Structure 1
Amino acid sequence: MGEAKDLDAKDLYEIPLIRAGRARQSSERAELTGVDGTLLATVHLAPPLLARLTVADARAGEERTPTPGQLTEAGRHFETATLNGLSPQGYCELQARVAGVPVAVARHSLKDVAETFANVGARFLAERPAGAGAGPAPGEIGAVWTRRGDVLAVIAPSNNPGTHTQWLTALACGYRLVVRPGTRDPFTPARMIAALLEAGVAPHYLSLLPGSHATGDALVEAADLSLVYGGDAAVRRYGEDRRVILRGPGRSKLLHTGEITEETLDVICASVCYDAGMRCTNATAVFTDADPATLAAAVAERLARLTAAPPQSADAQVPVLPLGEARALRAQLAGSLAGAVDVAAPLYPDGPVADLGDGSGALRPAVLLCDRSDHPGARIELSFPCVWILPWQRAEGFGPLKDTLALTILGGDEELAREALRERSIRKVLLGPIPTYTAGRTSPHDGYLSHDLMEARAFGTTA
């Protein structure tokens, strides 16, 4: 990555540990650099023992589940207030420079996160089974909706600020949260926690512990339940632990039937490149019964127009990494083609990684044309706009489309959509010109999170 270009010490941003709502120092610290190598922040790190002690502290606190009003107020603070010494604009720029995500993503996430805060109470009610209330009438035995534990550990990613909104549901359920942030985005959960504390949420409900994999393992061991984000390695690591709720690769897809229209291309390209292609609901594969080469060429021509620029630039539309990491990621892709052809590559005279001249590189989109529906590329998900175009015929069924978080079916075939709903490994089905990342106010993401956090139990009292 090259030598870090240090700022003066007074300019460095500092992220302390948050233990039960209170900032704490640590003797172990890490430096956070921007994707261009500039030293921007110091992060205090929690050792595994401190993780266990923090879970114990959270567990010992009294029951004070946040109210919907507090959560709504916290959303307003997140969107508009200066928190942890950062204005909304300051947060967006710092998050973008370190994570390499275009600053426009962080800017619209300010409003998205605020709306999620305001909606979390209604979402909790929508997710609760109709037969399970706060308690039965005297003299009756009924169902209550109750937690499976008290403390939830969150092993968070760095790919998109909006990812963190999922753990708000746990707060509405009454869980105390201990968050180990992703290494390149501690800023978003730190800002969310500051907003919640400002709104009056009980301090012992909120902890932030940056740290190593060992710290994450200690949290998973000590907490009642854990929400873990990650790729196939996380699935292999935690997949057998029933206390772990996994949010793994999305592998979202589109299934196109019929003619290739401008609307078809609009939806495909939006699904691939929205939020710089770094969401788990961004499409990474398109199956078509039309000519795959024609579709791939049209998609490549559109995606090649995306602007490569430093992440803090308002023009940026693709992710940025340190230049060596960006080139290594593209080399990884080149070694996985298995006969596929990147039809977008000839559209970049200076190559698929744009050297931004400051030690960083922007990842231009890849459009991979495949010659068969079972090509292994359909399972490859990378952290930039990268989509595999594959042939498909209805006689093949949904075998090639299994293990899909979000599936958009283009072509208006309702029977096909109903068939997709019967495939349990497809978690969301959208029929019509709806981008894969689209969600409703209370629609499930990967099922309802509260159904993993809560359970219905029988409860009765005497008259």
Structure 2
Amino acid sequence: MAATTETGTETETGTETEAGSGLYEIPLLRAGRSARSAEQAVLCGVDGTPLARVHLAPPLLARLTVAQARTGPESTPDARVLGRAGELFATATLNGLAPEEYCELQARVAGVPVTVARHSLQDVAKTFAGVGGRVLAERPAGLGATPAPGEINAVWARRGEVLAVIAPSNNPGTHTQWLTALACGYRLVVRPGTRDPFTPARMIAALLEAGVAPHYLSLLPGSHATGDALVEAADLSLVFGGDAAEQRYGHDRRVVLRGPGRSKLLHTGPVTEQALDVICDSVGYDAGMRCTNATAVFTEGDPAVLAEALAERLARLTAAPPQSAAAQVPVLPLAEAHALRAHLDARLEGAVDVAAGRYPDGPVADLGDGSAGLRPAVLLCDRSDHPGARIELSFPCVWVLPWRRAEGFGPLRDTLALTVLGDEPELALAALRERSIRKVLLGPLPTYSAGDVSPHDGYLSHELMEARGFGTAPLGPPPPF
């Protein structure tokens, strides 16, 4: 995103195409009110076409917005309002964009296949509709509403009032996580990812249209310094990112980190068609850009046989412009795609990409318009402790490693989602006892599989809320001594 500073003042505006510029405009949103900024940036598609002008919030304005969000009465939205917002997100024209226009713009800038944005319309609407019930399901048993007079009980109370969200750009569905905070009564200040301000802007527009109090919602595109200012000013923060984000914020106990998934599969049976289906789906679903996409497969069998079978299938994924219905892999500007592939090649440490030979013109698919698709990589390793098992990249890239039962789950630590392929419940239960494995699935279930109230990386509400004691005296005169 190339920043271009312009003169101007902070004024009320809408989110629409700029007159005469052909660029879609994304203003700031401060406590529900849109505003212009003197600092702006032009956001280009992956092919280099300028598509949007984004207003940027400097750090001082971020702090002032957090202070502004604290004003206004308590007005936690109920389940009906959130459900209505989900319907609007999926079906309405919001911020001047019909659903299909939003999907195409998001795809062209983020480089994610448009089919991902299209099915995310319904996924987000479903999450909106279910968030009220989810929060109730997450609340520990025994915690209730305000006790009746004469009772002293346990209540579920917020740990703060304002939550900053430092959001990513990898998948539209990621943004549904902060809906839990809104349902818990937090006022939200969202700094969107550089390449996808469109999804949180659309979600917030839907929420405001449905009736959420304006001071509960702010959107502040900006730099790392803006993110730092939000984290400093807010009561708590939800931060998405990789190892760099962990180094930046990991010391702050007020920060809830959602880092790389490093999701994996443990393959213990024969190489069947069903096993290959599940592994390839785990690796390639949504273009391989979710934190629950598999990035490593450990196998008791011959890793070379499994890697070749995976490469044969994954190499069929289509590289096409992201707005095309045929697209199945991420697209980046051509130079960035080559740089990412070079980054992978520099970290092989003896691993071999058995898929690379299946691409006559190479693993980076030049689309001829200044952009390139990142074709899948299947990296065959000769040892279970290969560092590739901890490498997660933003395209379908999977490391295939040998595993022996005597090693236990040491090589599979630090895993967001693990699928145990095979019919061995005792092995799945043993994996569940490894605390750094956050979700375990047994049988032919892709790593991204989830239930309506299953935890993602634990329950977010358990980070945002806490049990406190509260009681009131009985009504009437005090009892005699």
Same fold per superposition (TM over 0.5) = yes
Number of the residue aligned with 1:68: 79
Name the SS for the 1:221 alignment partner. Answer: helix
Number of the residue aligned with 1:439: 450
Of 459, 470, 475 in structure 2, the residue corresponding to residue 459 of structure 1 is 470
CA distance in 2, matches of 1:17, 1:126: 34
Q: Which moved more, 1:128-137 or 1:291-300?
A: 128-137
Of 153, 156, 180 in structure 1, the residue corresponding to residue 167 of structure 2 is 156
Query: Structure 1 residue 241 and structure 2 residue 232: aligned?
Result: no
5 Å-filtered alignment, 1:28-427, equals 28-427=39-438
CA distance in 1, matches of 2:429, 2:269: 18
CA distance in 2, matches of 1:253, 1:75: 31
Deviations, residues 113-169 of structure 1 (Å, cap 9, x unaligned): 000000000000000011100122321211000000000000000000000000000
Give the greater-gyration-radius structure (CA): 2
CA distance in 1, matches of 2:31, 2:397: 40
Deviation at 1:28, TM superposition (A): 0.3
Q: Which moved more, 1:270-279 or 1:130-139?
A: 130-139
CA distance in 1, matches of 2:292, 2:144: 33
Deviation at 1:8, TM superposition (A): 9.1
CA distance in 2, matches of 1:321, 1:10: 24
Q: Unaligned 5+ residue runs, structure 1?
A: none
Name the SS for the 1:164 alignment partner. Answer: helix
Amino acid in structure 1 at the alignment position of 2:208: L
Deviations, residues 204-232 of structure 1 (Å, cap 9, x unaligned): 00000000000000000000000000000
Deviations, residues 409-442 of structure 1 (Å, cap 9, x unaligned): 0011111111111111000000000000011000
CA distance in 2, matches of 1:351, 1:365: 11
Amino acid in structure 2 at the alignment position of 1:190: A
Name the SS for the 1:77 alignment partner. Answer: helix
CA distance in 1, matches of 2:320, 2:387: 31
CA distance in 1, matches of 2:149, 2:279: 55
Amino acid in structure 1 at the alignment position of 2:427: L
Deviations, residues 300-347 of structure 1 (Å, cap 9, x unaligned): 000000010000000000000000000000000000000000000000
Name the SS for the 1:354 alignment partner. Answer: strand
CA distance in 2, matches of 1:74, 1:328: 40
Amino acid in structure 1 at the alignment position of 2:42: E
TM-score, normalised via structure 1 length = 0.98
User: Which consecutive segments of 4 or more residues in structure 1 shift more than 6 A?
Assistant: none
CA distance in 2, matches of 1:206, 1:104: 28
Number of the residue aligned with 1:430: 441
TM-score, normalised via structure 2 length = 0.94
Deviation at 1:10, TM superposition (A): 3.8
Deviations, residues 249-294 of structure 1 (Å, cap 9, x unaligned): 1000000002110000000000000000000000000000011000
Q: How many residues align?
A: 459
Deviation at 1:456, TM superposition (A): 0.4
Name the SS for the 1:18 alignment partner. Answer: strand
Amino acid in structure 2 at the alignment position of 1:303: L
Name the SS for the 1:367 alignment partner. Answer: strand
Deviation at 1:60, TM superposition (A): 1.4
Name the SS for the 2:456 alignment partner. Answer: coil
Name the SS for the 2:131 alignment partner. Answer: helix
CA distance in 1, matches of 2:367, 2:37: 35
